[in-house]
Amino acid sequence: MRDGPHIAGIASLIGEPARAEMLTALLADRALTATELAGIAGVGKATASSHLAKLRAAGLLAVHDQGRHRYYRLADRDVASVLESLMGVAFRTGALRLKSSPREPALRRARVCYDHLAGELGVQAFEALRARRAFDADAAGLRITPAGIDWFAAFGVDVATVGAQRRMMCKACLDWSERRHHLAGAWGAALLQRLFDLGWARRVAGTRVVQFTPPGERAFRTAFAPTTEAHRTAGQLVPS
């Protein structure tokens, strides 16, 4: 007897090269037109439209109309999680591109994974927060602790607003380039937004790259140092 959902159809949709390129481009949690996605995938507009219709019918994409344009984005965070996990498997098994993008080193260092921070610096932040006992893990998954709530509040995050969101609060997301975990969920998104608000980092237009300013990276590495001896509260780490 065969159990569980039938994954072959979804797997074949994701596995087609042009569709895989489109889905990967949308991992940056941005909406793109069919024309933009056709250019990214290297196919014609008619072919792109056919691919997008199949992805939408399978529930992998959402679309909204704005004026004369239709914008596509990933249907939800679960789809993003699947894609990031597949990238991890591809990286681990050596399924790499013959010619890497010039952005590859920057992507491995810091990038957006849907709406949270990934890459070397994302992993560093999560490991530092775990060392501060901001999160606990048990059979039910990851959960924020009172110490974690205090840390985020001191770091300038509106914890009441984050806690009121109707979504997964926190999740350890396996990082494809580091092979360790970074922080996903509402707290991961809040952390990334706070880094942007502080001016420590910014999104590079049209990419998933998160670029830190030199002062911002110094502040980040201080805030998320491997040990906490030099830093008793997050409030000491935030510029006034």
pLDDT at residue 1, rounded to an integer: 54
Which amino acid, one-letter code, is at 87?
A: M
Report which of residues 108 and 97 the model is more confident about.
Answer: 108
* Residue 83 maps to a domain: no
Binned at pLDDT 50, 70 and 90, residue 73 comes out as confident
- Lowest-confidence segment of 31-35, 80-84, 108-112, 214-218 by average pLDDT: 80-84
Indicate whether 223 and 113 sit together in one domain: yes
* Residue 85 maps to a domain: no
* Residue 88 maps to a domain: no
Indicate whether 120 and 219 sit together in one domain: yes
Q: Quick check: 236 pLDDT over 60?
A: no
Q: Determine if the pTM surpasses 0.85.
A: no
Indicate whether 131 and 43 sit together in one domain: no
Indicate whether 132 and 209 sit together in one domain: yes
Residue span of the structural domain in which 64 resides: 8-75
pLDDT at residue 161, rounded to an integer: 94
Three-class SS string for the chain? CCCCCCCHHHHHHHHCHHHHHHHHHHHHCCCEEHHHHHHHHCCCHHHHHHHHHHHHHCCCEEEEEECCEEEEEECCHHHHHHHHHHHHHHHHCCCCCCCCCCCHHHHHHCEEECCEEECHHHHHHHHHHHHCCCEEEECCEEEECHHHHHHHHHCCCCHHHHHCCCCCCCEEEECCCCCCEEEEHHHHHHHHHHHHHHCCEEECCCCCEEEECHHHHHHHHHHCCCCCCCCCCHHHHCCC
Query: Which letter, b or e, does each residue of 177-186 get, where b requires 16 or more Cβ atoms within 10 Å of its Cβ?
Result: bbeebbbbbb
- What is the C-alpha radius of gyration for the chain, rounded to an integer number of angstroms? 19
pLDDT at residue 110, rounded to an integer: 93
Indicate whether 202 and 115 sit together in one domain: yes
pLDDT by residue (tens digit) across 132-180? 899 988 777 788 999 999 999 999 999 999 988 888 888 888 787 787 8
Give the number of domains in the chain.
2
Indicate whether 166 and 223 sit together in one domain: yes
Residue 175 to residue 124: CA distance in whole angstroms? 11
pLDDT at residue 98, rounded to an integer: 42
* Cα-Cα-Cα-Cα dihedral sign, residues 25, 91, 176, 74: positive
Domain boundary at 75, 105, 130, which?
75
* Residue 26 maps to a domain: yes
Distances (CA, A) of 160 to 95, 115, 187: 43, 19, 11
Residue 16 to residue 130: CA distance in whole angstroms? 38
* Residue 45 maps to a domain: yes
Indicate whether 158 and 104 sit together in one domain: yes
Contacts of 213 (CB under 8 A, 6+ apart): 199, 200, 201, 202
Indicate whether 176 and 64 sit together in one domain: no
CATH number for 28 = 1.10.10.10
* Residue 81 maps to a domain: no
Nearest to 207 by CA among 18, 25, 31, 23: 25
